[in-house]
């Protein structure tokens, strides 16, 4: 069989399982972007970026270690670190690139990494690249984590990696408990704050701030393409940790530096998040309202009332059919299917954001209820 025939067969297999993926542009009311605070289209961010393009041009022209370095990267990295409460940070073009890079940089042969079974694909792929022993633990199972960290023999370093707010379930990890266990067992804690940076804590820097566990965290990953409204990701940690990344992290070293103008947009995003607490308050209100509305209408709502709300349907085909009908009604909600989530747990992933209102959400739930009855 030639390669094109094999690819065709594989695509047919995917389609027969109801798992075919297609690219489709935004349409209708936004219930699926990660632009939680509405910063992606904010005038201040747009202007900051336009001015920076005029100053810096478009492309960075080389990697950061060569001619791609710019003062604006260092400035935004220091600003991010001050906000996050760490000594330093390093900006990557994407969270995926950051997660691939950190594992390969810090994990050595004699180490062991403990990872939540539901961690994001970018963390999983990063871990796959590491040569050390890997142990999965049940999602949020503190007792299992305790046992594993206490009893696993390890000649090198132990690491625990978790998301703080899980991207597909919207639930919040028991970070305080993990921090304490890690402290007692000399385990290095890595936290992916992709969906919490910008939203939690007094300053809005994330759940590490909210739980007050900064001192117990080895490093955090903070994507900048979600609540921060731009793109890329900051790894936040100590000066030495960042210096080591600059020297060892292959996905940082061997890649063209990001577009310089994103740094100026991110400076603005951090300033707005810090100073405009109202935005976070409004989002929080929508989270409570929508979760309550789901319960009142007979749907299961997650225990943590966050901005990510999975509505579990189960079968992939049924989930896609419901999503299509909702889209036809003007609601841009997407079906999430395996392998992104476990078999039998296909879902609509609703993400709340500041373009929404109570009225829109009410109308959405009414339509959802009708459609679920008819599919």
Ligand X SMILES: Cc1ncc(COP(=O)(O)O)c(C=O)c1O
Considering beta carbons, is residue 349 or 371 the nearer one to ligand X? Answer: 349
Among 120, 279, 305, 334, binds ligand X (CB under 6 A): 120
Selected range binding ligand X among 88-96, 201-209, 256-264, 297-305, rule: CB under 6 A: 88-96
Considering beta carbons, is residue 115 or 223 the nearer one to ligand X? Answer: 223
Considering beta carbons, is residue 236 or 365 the nearer one to ligand X? Answer: 236
Q: Are 346 and 314 in contact (CB under 8 A)?
A: yes
- Residue 172 pairs in a beta bridge with 165
- Residue 165 pairs in a beta bridge with 172
User: Smallest distance from the beta carbon of 207 to ligand X, in angstroms?
Assistant: 12
Q: Does 115 bind ligand X (CB under 6 A)?
A: no
Give me the residue whose beta carbon is nearest to ligand X.
95
User: Smallest distance from the beta carbon of 233 to ligand X, in angstroms?
Assistant: 5
Q: Does 233 bind ligand X (CB under 6 A)?
A: yes
User: Smallest distance from the beta carbon of 236 to ligand X, in angstroms?
Assistant: 14
Considering beta carbons, is residue 33 or 238 the nearer one to ligand X? Answer: 33
Q: Does 222 bind ligand X (CB under 6 A)?
A: no
Q: Does 194 bind ligand X (CB under 6 A)?
A: yes
Q: Does 126 bind ligand X (CB under 6 A)?
A: no
Cβ-based neighbours of 174, under 8 Å, separated by 6 or more: 140, 142
Considering beta carbons, is residue 233 or 313 the nearer one to ligand X? Answer: 233
Alpha carbons 312 and 346: distance in angstroms, whole number: 6
Considering beta carbons, is residue 231 or 346 the nearer one to ligand X? Answer: 231
Q: Does 122 bind ligand X (CB under 6 A)?
A: yes
Considering beta carbons, is residue 178 or 372 the nearer one to ligand X? Answer: 178
Q: Does 241 bind ligand X (CB under 6 A)?
A: no
- Residue 349 pairs in a beta bridge with 310, 334
Selected range binding ligand X among 50-58, 93-101, 199-207, 342-350, rule: CB under 6 A: 93-101
In three-state form (DSSP H/G/I as H, E/B as E, the rest C), the secondary structure along the chain is CCHHHHHHHHHHHHHHCCCCCCCCCCCCEECCCCCCCCCCCCHHHHHHHHHHHHHHCCCCCCECCCCCCCHHHHHHHHHHHHHHCCCEEEEECCHHHHHHHHHHHHCCCCCEEEEECCCCHHHHHHHHHCCCEEEEECCCCHHHHHHHHHHCCCCCCEEEEEECECCCCCCECCHHHHHHHHHHCCEEEEEECCCCCCCCCCCCCCHHHHHCCHHHEEEEEEECCCCCCCCCEEEEECHHHHHHHHHHCHHHHCCECCCCHHHHHHHHHHHHHHHCHHHHHHHHHHHHHHHHHHHHCCCCCCCCCCCEEEEEEECHHHHHHHHHHHHHCCEECEEECCCCCCCCCEEEEEECCCCCCHHHHHHHHHHHHHHHHHC
Alpha carbons 342 and 266: distance in angstroms, whole number: 34
Among 36, 73, 91, 96, binds ligand X (CB under 6 A): 96
Considering beta carbons, is residue 214 or 225 the nearer one to ligand X? Answer: 225
Selected range binding ligand X among 25-33, 70-78, 90-98, 173-181, rule: CB under 6 A: 90-98
Among 32, 89, 223, 251, binds ligand X (CB under 6 A): 223
Q: Does 30 bind ligand X (CB under 6 A)?
A: no
Number of residues that bind ligand X (CB under 6 A): 13
User: Smallest distance from the beta carbon of 195 to ligand X, in angstroms?
Assistant: 6
User: Smallest distance from the beta carbon of 189 to ligand X, in angstroms?
Assistant: 16
Retrieve residue 82's tokens: 């001050």
Residues 152-191 that bind ligand X (CB under 6 A): 163, 167
- Residue 215 pairs in a beta bridge with none
User: Smallest distance from the beta carbon of 127 to ligand X, in angstroms?
Assistant: 13
Binding site for ligand X (CB under 6 A): 94-96, 99, 120, 122, 163, 167, 192, 194, 223, 225, 233
């Amino acid at each position: 069989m030639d390669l094109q025939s094999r690819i065709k067969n594989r695509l047919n297999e995917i389609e027969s399982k109801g798992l075919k993926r297609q690219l489709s542009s935004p349409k209708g009311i936004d219930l699926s972007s990660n632009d939680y605070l509405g910063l992606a289209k904010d005038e201040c961010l747009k202007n900051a970026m336009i001015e920076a393009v005029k100053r810096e041009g478009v492309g960075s022209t080389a990697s950061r270690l060569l001619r791609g370095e710019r003062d604006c990267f260092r400035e935004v990295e220091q600003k991010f670190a001050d906000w996050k409460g760490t000594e330093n940070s390093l900006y990557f073009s994407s969270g995926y690139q950051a997660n691939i890079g950190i594992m390969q940089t810090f994990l050595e042969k004699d180490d062991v990494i403990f990872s939540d079974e539901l961690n994001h694909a970018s963390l999983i792929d990063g871990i796959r690249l590491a040569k050390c022993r890997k142990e999965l633990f049940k999602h949020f199972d503190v007792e299992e984590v305790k046992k594993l960290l206490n009893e696993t023999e390890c000649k090198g370093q132990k690491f625990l990696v978790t998301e703080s707010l899980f991207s597909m379930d919207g639930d919040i990890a028991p970070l305080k408990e993990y921090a304490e266990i890690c402290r007692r067992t000399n385990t290095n804690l890595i936290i992916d704050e992709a969906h919490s940076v910008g939203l939690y804590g007094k300053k809005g820097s994330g759940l590490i701030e909210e739980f007050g566990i900064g001192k117990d965290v080895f490093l955090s990953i903070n994507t900048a393409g979600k609540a921060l409204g731009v793109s890329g990701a900051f790894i936040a940690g100590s000066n030495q940790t960042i210096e080591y990344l600059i020297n060892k992290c292959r996905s940082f070293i061997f890649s063209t530096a990001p577009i310089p103008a994103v740094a100026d947009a991110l400076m603005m995003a951090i300033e707005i998040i810090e100073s405009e607490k109202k935005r976070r308050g409004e989002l929080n209100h929508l989270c409570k309202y929508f979760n309550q509305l789901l319960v009142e209408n007979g749907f299961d709502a997650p225990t943590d009332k966050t901005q990510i709300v999975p509505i579990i349907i189960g079968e992939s085909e049924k989930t896609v059919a419901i999503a299509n009908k909702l889209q036809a009604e003007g609601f841009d909600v997407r079906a999430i299917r395996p392998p992104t989530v476990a078999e039998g747990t296909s879902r609509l992933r609703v993400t709340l954001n500041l373009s929404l209102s109570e009225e829109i959400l009410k109308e959405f739930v009414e339509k959802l209820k009708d459609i679920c009855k008819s599919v």
